[in-house]
A and B are shown apart, each in its own frame.
Chain A
Amino acid sequence: MGEALIRAVDDVTLSIHRGEFLALLGASGSGKSTLLNLMAGLDRPTSGAIFAEGRDLAALDGRELARYRSQTAGIVFQAFNLLPRMTLEENVELPLRLAEVERRERAQRVREALERVHLEKRREHRPAELSGGEQQRGAIARALVNRPAILFADEPTGNLDSATGVEILELLREINQTLGATIVLVTHERPLAEQFAGRLATMQDGRLAAA
């Protein structure tokens, strides 16, 4: 609405090291989700540059950006976003289909990913038949299945009770430590962030307040 330009993320300089577990904190509307979307290749900055694995995301065309999302980034959402019509297994297989991974290899990779999140027994269930925690773990398996270098988690515990939320963050920490994946966690729960993340960055009104 209107012509006024809203700068959701403005003048932010942030470096994240390989293998780091970074938590982005901030009130709602502070621009932390927008920053995550920019880093995950879902959105483009109007100006500036985002370097990931040596490439400037701002300079990539749509297809290359899609390839970045497929090969380098893994994304977990607050609302899980598993496709309701597919079984868990099929949901996890989806990124492999999009990445055109050979059929023979897919089953193996799906199994590995589900084992990692301890859901191998639920693979034939549909999302509606899973608990919130299970759905989020399934979503993590889906994000991991293409072996991304960076895992982005946008309020992954927002729809879960606190005990389950802790379980999810423990899982993310385990992934960070055993797989060496870089993790960028967006949350507004400072205590959880402090407990699990290696570094905290706080957003306020679209700017980085403290890194």
Chain B
Amino acid sequence: MKIRDLTELAARNLREAVLRNALTTLGIGVGVASLVAMLSLGVGLQRLVAQHLARTGLFNAIFVMPHSGFRRFESRPNPAPPKKSPPLDEDAMQAMARLRNVIEVYPQIRFLTEARYGGNSFPAIVGGIPLSDRSGGAFDGMEGRFFSSPTADEAILQIGFARRIAKNPASLVGKEMAVRYAEREPLAAAGGKKSSSAADASTKGASPGFSIVLRETQLKIVGIVKTDPEGFGHFGRGQLFVPLRVSEKLHATQISDLRQFLHGPTPQPTYSTVTVRVTDPSKVAAVEAAIKKMGFATFSLLDTTRNLRLFFAVFDLLLGIFGGLALVVATLGIVNTLVMAILERRREIGVLKALGAADRDVRELFFSEAGVMGFVGGIFGVALGWAIGRALTFGTDVYLHHRNLPPVDISFVPWWLAVGAILFAVAVSLAAGIYPASRAARLDPVEALRYE
């Protein structure tokens, strides 16, 4: 028989025994629904976590530090003797920028300031922000706007800091504020005003050292942001952000300068941390290895994300198994319905054979009925599963609302899950139809027609 005739007949047969078939189809639907609901939860949570992490812009970032002997990120029971790194300065950064798949390299610039506004002064840590951070998502939904240019004397305030300055943080946007900071100024001549003779002896004139000078600059507040986009892997939480180039231009004394100075003074400024951005998270490992070879310590979230992915794979598998169990029960329902149908439709099968149906036609007919049940049940199940997911999201959001937290989408049905679930339902139904269909096909027409 042709496919169209098969499906027509199958659909018609199913319609006629509507109650029993509807219950079987409902069984498949519920099975698929539980599968879809479970997996949509898995996918939704994964997406939620991935979004939050992507927002931080950490997945394609490598943080580079000199080996300090302090071992902040790797803790082994028997630490090897501290390695000596080359200075993490402009030259090192340019070498890193030349590596393949590196988009940009920029230093972490953080320094202490005193901001003055409305006659009061507020201590603040200033952070330099590269313009590329804008796409990271941390500035989505910010108050005001992002920096107008890489060299604009503009500031974006962290919301907590802004609240300390003004009751209504939004009112700060567009205002000017003065910022006092300590400039690092190279000494004019070597061997000048060293007060300590011990320091004289140890440095042997290798570095001129530097002096610290009080400066003040005017910044225009252009925006207020919730999170610190560069706040991970860095010292101190930024409260006042300026364009990276502006922060470099100020030559402010870094928080880490003193430690670096004692460790081994160098003629040009060095950085405690440099961020290396690569084109794609998958390129992190190779670039990280290359930088390690240059003699620096590195840190990336690669291992963390690998574990996270593994966790979600197992999580999805577990959810899928629970959802799948329901589908197994539904499968037994299909087998039962079709076997019962054979007993009930013996005569019909006999008639079909007498009218010229080959075994194959009968088998295909029963197969099609199983397939149609699977298809209808699959569609119904996806819709139901989606609805369950929405209900869970709604329930969660009601709970979050009561706790004054923003709503989240904990369940998500991507198109591949919907299509996959329907295909899976059809496949499972067809598998369930194998035995009944071949039994129906083997029926002897003379036997089948003999009894009333």
Contacts and interface: CB of A to CB of B under 8 A. Distances in A.
B356 A98 contact: yes
Contact of B356 (A79, A83, A95): A95
B355 A95 contact: yes
> Of residues B16, B352, B356, which shows the largest number of chain A Cβ atoms within 10 Å of its Cβ?
B356
Interface in B1-18: 1-2, 5, 9, 12-13, 16
B355 A62 contact: no
Contacts of A100: 1-2, 5
A77 B359 contact: no
A154 B12 CA distance: 29
A85 B12 contact: yes
B351 interface: yes
B352 A98 contact: yes
Contact of B5 (A62, A86, A97): A97
Given A42-B353, A81-B351, A67 B449 contact: no
Contact of B357 (A79, A81, A98, A142): A98
Interface string B335-363: 00000000000011011111111111100
Given A97-B1, A100-B1, A85 B355 contact: no
A97 B2 CA distance: 8
Nearest to B345: A83
A75 interface: yes
Contacts of B360: 63
A69 interface: yes
A149 interface: no
A94 interface: yes
B356 A67 contact: yes
B372 to A, nearest CB: 16
A142 B356 CA distance: 12
Contacts of A136: none
Contacts of A166: none
Nearest to B15: A85
B321 interface: no
B354 A42 contact: yes
Contact of A75 (B12, B13, B355, B358): B355
Contacts of A81: 347, 350-351, 354, 449
A66 interface: yes
B445 interface: yes
Given A81-B347, A100-B1, A69 B446 contact: no
Contacts of A130: none
B2 A71 contact: no
Nearest to A76: B354
A52 B2 CA distance: 27
A85 B360 CA distance: 22
Contacts of A146: 356
B452 interface: yes
Interface residues of A, number: 26
B446 A43 contact: yes
A146 B357 CA distance: 13
A211 interface: no
Given A42-B446, A81-B347, A69 B354 contact: yes
Interface in B430-452: 445-446, 449, 452
Contacts of A69: 353-356
Nearest to A43: B446
B353 A83 contact: no
Contacts of A208: none
A66 B363 CA distance: 14
Given A66-B358, A71-B356, A97-B1, A42 B348 contact: no
A69 to B, nearest CB: 5
Interface in A49-88: 62-63, 66-67, 69-71, 75, 77, 79, 81, 83, 85-86
A62 B354 contact: no
A40 interface: yes
Contacts of A77: 354, 449
Interface in B81-109: none
A16 interface: no
Contacts of A95: 355-356
A146 B13 CA distance: 23
A83 B354 CA distance: 13
A81 to B, nearest CB: 5
B238 to A, nearest CB: 74
A188 B357 CA distance: 29
A99 interface: yes
B446 A37 contact: yes
Contacts of A79: 452
Interface in A124-146: 142, 146
Interface in B65-90: none
B7 to A, nearest CB: 12
B1 A66 contact: no
Interface of B: 1-2, 5, 9, 12-13, 16, 347-348, 350-361, 445-446, 449, 452
Given A42-B354, A66-B358, A98-B355, 6 more contacts: A66-B353, A81-B350, A85-B16, A94-B355, A97-B5, A97-B9
16 contacts: A37-B446, A62-B359, A63-B359, A63-B360, A66-B353, A66-B358, A67-B356, A67-B358, A69-B354, A70-B357, A71-B356, A77-B354, A79-B452, A86-B12, A98-B352, A100-B5
Identify the 5 closest CB pairs spanning chains A and B, nearest first. A70-B356, A66-B358, A85-B16, A97-B5, A69-B356
